[in-house]
Structure 1
Amino acid sequence: MKVSDIMSDQVICISDGASLKDAHHLMQTRGVRHLPVISEIDGTLVGVLTHKKMIASVMTMLNKYGQGALERKERYTPITTVMDQDFQHLTADEPLTVVVEYFIENKLGCLPVVDADKKVLGIVTSSDFIKLCRTLLKQQS
């Protein structure tokens, strides 16, 4: 099996020109925990924002500035200052046996899937592996 067999191709991405407030709103309204960040200039993948990282940033702001200033601080915090810029990505044809080991060893929640031009094709999450596990277990029954 390959990455393309389990990846989600309906990916919600966010622009690198967005704010933390934009990302927070997008995660809440679309029900996603991972946002690939793409360049406004050429649409290539430039970072990843996880729900965990976003919440940590919001909590830091809340503790430092208080509830009254939180919305303003979120609005003026560029996503580029919060996103992970040092991240791994996958290609659609990578074997799942390699990818699952990478997930386990690095305790990751997601890996974006890109083409040769670094355009986002999809995303693989730990939930995708759980769904695969369910399918395989049902087949054994």
Structure 2
Amino acid sequence: MAVARDIMTAQVVSVKTDDSVDAVAEVLLRVGHHSVPVVDGAGRVQGMISQEDLIDATRKVHLPTVITILDSFIPLGGYKEFADDLRKSTATTAQQLASVNLVYAEADEDVDSVAEKLSQSHVHALPVVDHDKRLLGIITRSDVLRALLGKTKP
């Protein structure tokens, strides 16, 4: 059975934690990927930035609707969503914009497990990392589909 190392792309386009949000947008436009890993100086994955994150960063932030009962504010919408929108709209660096609740693939993980992670996490790509979370490669949905159908990379 194939494992992540067999189907990953080892030549990964990534951005550094201190790259500007504009620079990240330029990279995504230039390479045509849906997302890009954010790495620190040692090559450890610190997050992922997707096209959706960049689009969200340009949207207007709407305050959550609240009701007041006995001098307490009770949100009718989620503060988490508001906080996330606010974080994205004020981000100036890749690290500030990046989604940090990541799902990773390990190099020796079987393709079925990788497919399950991609499906459950609703992302387009998973970084493949070593035990220190250093970036080894990336696996996209297309990579997994090719592997499951027994096709090779073009």
TM-score range, shorter chain: 0.7 to 0.9
Larger Rg, first or second structure (1 or 2) = 2
Measure how far apart 1:105 and its partner are: 2.1
SS at match of 1:48: strand
Partner of 1:35: 36
Q: TM-score, normalised by structure 1?
A: 0.77
Partner of 1:16: 17
CA distance in 2, matches of 1:45, 1:5: 20
SS at match of 1:101: helix
Identity across matched positions, percent? 25
SS at match of 1:112: strand
CA distance in 1, matches of 2:43, 2:149: 34
1:123 aligns with 2:124: no
CA distance in 2, matches of 1:95, 1:16: 30
Where in structure 2 are there 5+ consecutive unaligned residues? 62-88
Which residues of 2 match residues 1-141 of structure 1 at below 5 A?
A: 1-40=2-41, 42-58=42-58, 60=59, 63=60, 77-135=92-150
CA distance in 1, matches of 2:113, 2:144: 13
Where in structure 1 are there 5+ consecutive unaligned residues? 65-73, 137-141
Q: TM-score, normalised by structure 2?
A: 0.71
Q: Deviations over 1:117-140 (max 9, x none)?
A: 22111001112123334545xxxx
CA distance in 2, matches of 1:47, 1:85: 5
CA distance in 1, matches of 2:43, 2:34: 21
**Size of the alignment, in residue pairs?**
122
Contact persistence 2:111–2:147 (CA under 8 A): no
Q: Which amino acid aligns with 2:127?
A: P
CA distance in 2, matches of 1:4, 1:17: 28
SS at match of 2:33: coil
